[in-house]
Amino acid sequence: MHNNNYSMVNLEWYRTFVAIYDNNTLTKAAQSLYTSQPGVSLHLNALEAYVGRKLFERTSRKMIPTEEGKQLYNFIIDPLEKLAQAEQHFKKTSKEHVPSVHIGMCTETFQAILEPEIAHFSFNLVAKFGNHKELIKDLNNGLLDLVITPQVNNKTTLVDYEAFSKETIVLVAGYKTKIEEISKSISAKQMIALEEVLKGNVWYSASNEMHHFNRFWFDNFKKRPNFKPNYILPNIGSVIRSLRGNEGLAVVPDFLVENELREKQLKLIWKGEVVVDNTLYFATRTDLQFKKEVDTIKTIFKSRMGNKL
């Protein structure tokens, strides 16, 4: 088998291998591990690639261990059982068989909507942040249970989409920003003058959400912006924190700045001559296992964001 003195196999691959060996099917193995069947398949494929041997013969009804699979099982079963005993002995007292729900969304959405509720959950939660395309790919591969996304990918039949709310892209300013000329141009609907006065200000944007800025500008001025923001920060959260009580402009989703607007750290300047909306969706796998737990998360989002559809 593969020998590497400088790296070690992911322990979860071994746990998954033993679960398949003991249960004879991927479905039962996934149930025993409280995870998804695609996730079990990924772990097994990774382990087989690592050792360079086929560990099971796949049939329509069961997984039959190969000779290499039997040898590996005999090598690792005792150490794994000892690890399990150690885990039981040293871990904190907690509920047994607590489901772990894996979710994906942008950082700011998680912080604004879900983070305040985590302490009340009766299940474990693993959150992943990234771009929507990659998160949907992970969902499709069984690595995530729920994704919050403004995008629908109809190329896969393994994912269900449920529209639940909308975000409106709005123009905001730090509270020290002088907005008299901007407000005057907006009231008079003098779009050419408005474009020029906006371009004369300091702008903030997020590197992972530049499409908000570009789309808001194009929909309202019928052209692409011919300038770049002065400060392009890692995410919208950084933009909002930088603008609080200071000078500058930014285009952001409305629900992310509700607190700042209420506390007068930011000013709402303009929703646009053309309102720019994004429909938000719950994306889940068609074979979703933890429906009760995912429904709890959905209820929080619906309650906090309201039905703007």
Residue-wise pLDDT for 171-210, tens only, equals 999 999 999 999 999 999 999 999 999 999 999 999 877 8
The reported pLDDT for the residue numbered 166 is 92
Task: Give percent of the chain with pLDDT exceeding 70.
Answer: 93
DSSP state of 6: T
DSSP designation for 100? E
Average pLDDT, the chain: 88
Q: Closest Cα to residue 255, out of 186, 182, 172, 183?
A: 172
CA distance 238 to 206: 8
Q: Please, what sign has the CA dihedral across residues 244, 200, 214, 185?
A: positive
pLDDT of 130 reads: 81
Residue 182, Cβ neighbours under 10 Å: how many?
A: 22
Q: Comparing C-alpha atoms, which of 74, 9, 1, 82 is closest to residue 43?
A: 9
pLDDT at 81 (0 to 100)? 85
pLDDT digits (tens, 9 = 90+) for 78-97: 888 888 777 766 655 444 56
pLDDT tens string 142-167: 889 999 998 887 777 789 999 999 99
CA–CA gap between residue 168 and residue 171 (Å, rounded): 10
Mind listing the domains of the chain with CATH numbers? 11-90 (1.10.10.10), 100-162+280-305 (3.40.190.10), 167-277 (3.40.190.10)
What are the tens digits of pLDDT across the range 3-41? 444 456 778 899 999 999 999 999 888 888 877 888 888
* pLDDT at residue number 4: 45
141 Cβ neighbours under 8 A, 6+ residues apart: 38, 39, 42
Residues 6+ apart with CB under 8 A from 212: 169, 205, 206, 251, 252, 253, 276
